[in-house]
Amino acid sequence: MADFRRVRRLIQGLMWAGTLIPLSVSGHEFWLDPSAHRLERIDSVGIQFRVGQDFRGSAQPYLDRDIATFTHHRTDGDALITGLLGDSRPAAKVTIQPGLNIITHLTTPQPITFRPDESIWVDYVVLDGLEAQIAAHPDLPQVPPVSERYIRSAKTLIIGPGITASQRDRETALPFELILETPPGRLSAGPHRFRITTDGIPTTGILVKAFRASDRQTVDQRVSDTMGWVSLDLPTPDRYLISGVRIDPDTQGDADWISYWASLTLEVWPTTP
């Protein structure tokens, strides 16, 4: 765990310094941080964009150029979210509707270059379990110099009043997505199953991690099976960040690789509602 944290701190430090990518998109994980995950009445919540590591990160501003889609998925349909241009605390406000509210955010591709005099690429590949994905394409660079574009595919679950046991998390239009199997209105401490998909197709071999907000610990991690399923233990009532990374040849751009970073934020309740 000490080596894991050391490498993550190194990655973030280099990114903040502008060595790898612009300051506005620095950090390792990206997630949606709502001001509340559960509301007893119809009200608005603030949504912050956070970038960082170990579920600790800085708030990022709402910038149109960095956003491909930003959507509120409700029981009565979907609605695009318009943020507060340049604001970060929050980047947007969303009026929560009855039942399950799913907020998704997809970024535009961002470039990154790994130099041969750095160990960042090797550390990143190991930490996020990308060895097999990289090795499956031996014709592409396996060691620096390596160029990559990355896309952040974030999602959060917010419980509105009157949620029922039949209301479940579901696939949206995200190209790489984590889906919670447990009914969100009944989310208590313990093991829970998630599915990870690529354009709706179950994705095997993805290292999926669960981070806990209160102590910034990685509480569990598992690799998705042939049906895209992974079971993770969320051991205590708390907020959690679930994340996973996929990397493919970049056939649509001028980089060697394109990576997709899926995240899902949710809350485990002290007792079953």
DSSP characters for 224-267?
--TTSEEEEEE-SSEEEEEEEEEEEE-SSSSSSEEEEEEEEEEE
On the question of pLDDT at 45 being above 60, the answer is yes
Q: Report the C-alpha gap between 48 and 88 in whole angstroms.
A: 6
On the question of pLDDT at 48 being above 50, the answer is yes
On the question of pLDDT at 166 being above 70, the answer is yes
The model carries a pTM of: 0.89
- Look at residue 178 in the predicted model and tell me its pLDDT: 98
- Cα 167 versus chain centre, distance: 22
Q: Average pLDDT of 10-36?
A: 56
Q: Using the CB atoms, write b or e for 131-167: b if 16+ within 10 Å.
A: eebbeeeeeeeeebebbbbbbbbbbbbbbbeebeeeb
Model confidence over 68-110: pLDDT tens digits? 999 999 999 999 999 988 989 999 999 999 999 999 999 999 9
- Look at residue 215 in the predicted model and tell me its pLDDT: 95
Model confidence over 199-211: pLDDT tens digits? 999 999 999 999 9
Phi–psi pair at 7, nearest 5 degrees = -65, -40
